Amino acid sequence: MRPSALLPALSLLAAAAAKKVSYDGYQVLRVKTGARQVEVEQKLVKVKHDEWDGVENSHVDVAIAPAQLPAFRALGLDYSVMHEDLGASIAAESAARPAWKRHIDDMAWYDAYHPYDEHKAYMETLHRAFSNNSEIVSSGTSHEGRDIFGIHIWGAGGPGKPAVLWHGTVHAREWISAPVVEYLTLQLIQGYGKENGTTGFVDASDIWSFPIANPDGFVHTHTTDRLWRKNRQPPPPNAKNSSCFGRDINRNWPHKWDANPLGASSDPCSLTYKGEAPADAPETKGLQAMVDKLREMPGGIKLYVDWHAYTQIILAPVGYNCTRYIDTLGQHVKMAQLAADAILKVEGKAFAYGPSCATLYSTTGTGLDYVYEVGRAKWSYLVELRDLGEHGFVLPPEQIRGSVKEQWEGMKVMLGLLDEVFFDGNGP
């Protein structure tokens, strides 16, 4: 998701708030930019807003407070409405949840979104169902002391195979990413021992799944501000604004941290605040340690996927330089294309693909680039999940099942091609 480079009005409201932030009456609008990108951005500066996402020379999605709507309309921009009342959409998203029976065969888990403690309980349930071939693991502790829990599963011959590493909810408001990671893990566990290809996937690799990489931010989205993005670290002592909490964990990795001024922000109030120093967020530090550990194990890291929302796109390295292409870009793009083809067949959702910076926008200090260039992963991807902007971050729970099922089809393709060469030669 592309956050705003502007001072986000909404995040300031929630930075250290004790009461729940209300989005009643807020509208989320898709503003057409086309070839008038700069002109539109200059007009938008005049109105307080939170930028959700955008595609260069196409559109930008913005959330506007009720009091700012008249000023926005006066700008004369071409736009469509994504959420007529964001508060109502959030309320519907968190409406009564069906009872989950705490058994892996009960798919009601994927009919609703869940809080942190329930996700932790679900991971324990997965472990119990595959107890001889799994263990609960942790990549560390968050700033507020929460466990960054996960599960490690393996097949015949025991652990120690090349690693497949997944994590989600790096950005707290991207709720759909956690059930995706969980569902992929569930499919591997339920399918093991059956003649459907899944046994081979698990026997060939050690799978490391972390559904919630940013637990403090995720809890904050449930208790205080549904649209919170960053972690919950306090601002630096010398910050001009002491209410601007959080670091963007996916701009905080200690690789190309400040390689491109467009890739992250030095402003603690920005949604893309990269921190005072590389890996100064405990969540990043823990994930980095996990990557470094897996890199040194037999076979290293075979596949890494970092799940986000929204835009429906599969991104390969790198994000920090839009004219740098990795040697294996051709292979990365081919695998992404085949995965996207499989995803499309489930419910007709089209996913684009390509190198991160050149395809989307500049990003520095990312897990995608660290795991590929420092962690030496053979395959490294960032996947932006549903949707294309109909709902954005507030994706209705009715779309959870479709989202997780299509990602499983795409992941089956990836897992089946981990040792594929595709063709010899370098990328462009």
Tell me which residues are annotated as active site: 384
Residue 20 one-letter amino acid? K
Integer Cα distance of 120 and 138 in angstroms: 11
Rg (CA), the chain: 21
Contact 52, 63 (CB under 8 A): yes
Q: Beginning with the edge strand found earlier in the chain, give each strand of the sheet holding 352-355 in spatial order.
A: 134-141, 147-153, 206-210, 163-167, 301-309, 379-385, 313-316, 352-355
3-state helix, strand, coil in the chain (%, to 5): 35, 15, 45
Structure tokens at 427: 């990328």
Token pair, residue 200, equals: 């081979």
* Chain mean position to CA 237: 29
Which structure tokens are listed for 321? 């330089």
Sign of CA dihedral 80, 48, 214, 383: positive
Residue 149 pairs in a beta bridge with: 138
Backbone angles phi, psi at 207, to 5 degrees: -100, 130
Residue 108 phi, psi dihedral angles, 5° rounding: -60, -20
Q: What whole-number distance in Å separates Cα of residue 313 and Cα of residue 296? A: 30
Q: CA nearest 301: which of 163, 421, 167, 416? A: 163
